[in-house]
Structure 1
Amino acid sequence: MPGGPAVAGTDAAGAPAVPAEPGPSRSTAVPAPTGGRYVQLVLVLGALIALGPLTIDMYLPAFPSISAELGASDAATQLTLTGMLGGLAVGQLLIGPLSDAFGRRRPLVAGLVTHLVASLLCAVAPSIYVLAGVRVLQGFAGAAISVVAMAIVRDLFSGYAVAKLMSRLMLVIGLAPILAPSLGGLVLELTSWRGIFGVLAGAALLLTVVAVLGLRETLPPERRRPANPRATLATYRGLVGDRSFLALVFIAGLMMSSIFAYVSGSSFVLQDGYGLDERTFGLVFGVNAAGLTVASQVNPLLIRRFGVVNVLSGAILVAVTAALALVVAGATGFGGLIGVLVPLGVVIAAGGLSLPNTPALALTRHGEAAGTAAAMLGAVQFGVGAAIAPLVGLFGSASAVPMGGVMVAVTVLAALLMYGVVRRDPSVALD
């Protein structure tokens, strides 16, 4: 576009450009924290991002009681999960560009306050459809939190440092799904499922204080982008025009969908199909989350030795193999409960390698529009997840076969994109 800046992913003439390492200019960059400030950043960002898994996972043990109290089917109850994922997807597409235009702090605080209000509304929802609708608002609020946190990482770091920090964040984030179902089960022993949303409201209030006091602005005014629809669409066009970025975005979405299939179906499969009580289900859920967390902490060692692309490729292939084994175990009954839990745990652990590495590869290509790029990445992750999650319930959620079949489908598609697009592009690499 003559007389204007080049669109992300294009050169000045509008042709696709080979992405270099697009770090912020030295004159305007906020210094990357080190030492104690680095640890503080990890803890603050991890606590903020953890609100999403808490909001998703904490009420999972309550699915049967929600269905019973509100007179809803399993599929209708799963709409409350789909509603939040849909809100996360759409919200990020809108909030990402706003964070590039107005900075990171204001959208973040607004999202936390909205999450607080939505949690209180969920606690008094009179029907399953009202609950699902308010969960859309809750997801929209969560979008501000997740996209701003990702953009802050890219504001401060690039290249291998992004993958390393994302792995460290997974350690903090991993505590949320480990604790959430058990905490939800404890709340259910003391009160009803409505009390779970009261606890989430309290968490949102606490995190609002943490964000205001513990997080500084990382996007200086001189690095902000125009706040108008035309500029936003131009940025999105540039991102879509980068084939490797787009492939990485969908790989992230597909691998996240394998986890959402587990999140959506595991309570019915393990509780209804295999007879686990709420407390035992929470324990199993926590063990799988711990596997994901451990894998994410091994990730920095693996990527330093083998490279980010190779580690991500291997994780996808492992997930495909484990998902196939899950389908076989569910269909034949081989190994009973253990025959289902082992491949299920491997699929989730593979997520511990894909979740840090996919955004590291994708965001490094477009640091000049980190908020918008993170928004697109998150929107596809949660959008695909929102579309995939209900499929598990539609095909008989008490069996492991539908859940495993969905996992096979999404991981195979991720493998095709990884080997058909990403690995063929020599520009996709991190130091």
Structure 2
Amino acid sequence: MTKGKYIQLILILGSMTALGPFSIDMYLPSFSGIAKDLHTSVTLVSESLSSYFIGISFGQLLYGPLLDRFGRKKPLFIGLLVYILASFGCAVVSDIHVFIGLRFVQAVGSCAATVASVAMVRDLFPVKEIPNVLSKLMLVLGLSPMLAPTIGSYVTTYYGWHPIFYILMCLGGFVLIASQLGLPDTHKPDHTISLKPKPIISNFVAIIKVPQFYTYALTGSIAFSGLFTYVAASPILFMDILKVDATVYGWIFAFMSVSFIGSSQLNSLLLRRFSSEQMIFGALVAQIAISVTFLILAINGDLGLYGTIAMLFLFLACLGISNPNTAGLTLAPFAKNTGSASALMGATQLGIGALSSFAVGIFVKDSMVPMVAIMTCTTIIAFIILNIGKRKIKKTVMNSGDEEIMMGH
């Protein structure tokens, strides 16, 4: 593969991965504007964020078998078409409940790109290269929380919130054209894969039973839910509790993503010296130390705006290191049904993320303590699951003598 072709693949796959997060982050500064226009509360508008997370969880499971059965490009085309139409609907809607429903549909459409991009990474690159490639995708993906809220805040300030969804509609169109013209068809349709519910469910069950899958999928998803907690809580945290305006909030959100991008690129360098397993363990130990410190400072009221930004910056840096490694190790054992494995991994991540965002909606009102408490608990749970699961993986490998399952060492 030439360097130019490699860069082209990374950019297109990265833009596919970034479409969902862009759709989440870009409209965050416009919550109060949407609430005012649709005659409702900011709390009800925030339910559109939760419906988006639920839509992605559901959609991931839908596209997994479709991508394995029909190849990557056809389901991707249909999903992006749904996304474009739903984005247009969000722009012209006048009822909050219809808006919440359309956000669900928009999410179902967008995750065709999310699932296809991860499955195509597994198709196109050797297993040992996957964490490295995923780190590079994080660089493109990381531009989303840098650019999206900042663009969203300026668009909202000068033109209102409706144009945000026209911009998302155009982005969907760009990803559709780029993916259809610029990506190879990496997976031939496999008609042995049934689309009847029973075989699909038994296929998912077979994937879930692989110890390497459930250990790293759960560890990565529960740890990563800290990001969803932060995203869901950030408009309340910065605009209501810490009293910054929409434009400043956009810039703070952009600054935070520098942490995530920087650490995911540092991950590429560290992988030359350390294994993915060591990277995950180290990142989670650091994340526990940071989140516990953060919680103590928050309870004592010792954090102002800059202290809060500093603690969140450090917390997100840990996720930038652990996430590409947990994803790489989760998918390593699968060659035939990569689409389904990728979908299950994504659904687990987004499902747990949706629960975190619901918890934020219930508990985060006028204090940052509940947000930090959720982040601390999820980090500790992820660490416990990692250590229990690693023993199970070791036992499975010793029993079966199967070396493929331990790829990533």
Amino-acid identity (%):
33
Counterpart for residue 95 of structure 1: 63
Residue of structure 1 in register with 2:96 after alignment: 128
- Spell out structure 1 runs of 4+ moving beyond 4 A: none
Equivalent AA in structure 1 for residue 408 of structure 2: L
* Alpha-carbon separation, structure 2, partners of 1:202 and 1:170: 22
| Distance in 1, Cα, partners of 2:303 & 2:176 | 46
C-alpha distance in structure 2 between counterparts of 1:172 and 1:129, whole Å: 33
Compare the two structures and name the one with the higher helix fraction: 2
User: Could you say if the C-alpha distance between residues 238 and 346 of structure 1 is closer, same or farther in structure 2, counting changes exceeding 3 Å?
Assistant: same
On the 8 A contact 2:216/2:326 being kept in 1, the answer is: yes
1:129-168 equivalences in 2 (<5 Å): 129-168=97-136
**Counterpart Cα distance in 2 of 1:197 and 1:53:** 14
How many Å separate the matches in 2 of 1:337 and 1:331? 15
Partner amino acid, structure 2, of 1:402: P
| Shift of residue 261, structure 1, vs aligned partner | 0.5
Residue 287 of structure 2 is matched in structure 1 by 319
CA displacement, residues 149-192 of structure 1 (integer Å, 9 cap, x when unaligned): 11000111232200010001111111111000000011112211
Match of 1:334 in 2: 302
**Residue in 2 aligned with 1:172?**
140
Partner in structure 1 of residue 401 of structure 2: none
Residues 180-233 of structure 1, C-alpha deviations (whole Å, 9 max, x = no match): 000001111221112111110111112211112111210024697344333322
Structure 1 residue 98: Cα displacement: 0.7
Q: How does 1:94-113 map to 2 (within 5 A)?
A: 94-113=62-81
1:430 to 2:408 alignment: yes
Residues 74 and 393 in structure 1, CA contact (< 8 A), matched pair in contact too: no
CA contact (8 A) 1:75 1:394 kept: no
Q: Equivalent residue for 2:319?
A: 351
- 5+ residue gaps in structure 1? 1-32
Match of 1:85 among 53, 69, 88: 53
The verdict on how the C-alpha distance between 1:225 and 1:282 changes in structure 2, with shifts beyond 3 A counting, is: same
Farther off after superposition, 119-128 or 263-272: 119-128
What is the distance in 1 between the residues matched to 2:390 and 2:97? 41
Cα distance in 2 for partners of 1:157, 1:235 equals 24
Match for residue 44 of structure 2 among 76, 85, 109: 76
Per-residue deviation, 1:118: 0.5
Aligned to 2:238: 270
C-alpha displacement at 1:422, in angstroms?
2.5
Aligned-residue CA RMSD in angstroms? 1.6
Preserved CA contact (<8 Å) 2:333 2:407: no
How far apart are 1:356 and its partner, in Å? 0.8
Quickly say closer, same or farther: Cα 1:423–1:258, change in 2 above 3 A.
Answer: farther
> In structure 1, what is the Cα distance between the partners aligned to 2:248 and 2:369?
21
**Partner of residue 403, structure 2:** none
Q: Distance in 1 between matches of 2:293 and 2:365?
A: 18
TM-score (norm 2): 0.93
Q: Using the TM superposition, give the Cα deviation of residue 329 of structure 1 relative to its aligned residue in structure 2, in angstroms.
A: 2.6
Number of matched pairs: 399
Q: 1:142 to 1:415 in 2, by over 3 A?
A: same
What is the TM-score with the length of structure 1 in the denominator? Answer: 0.89
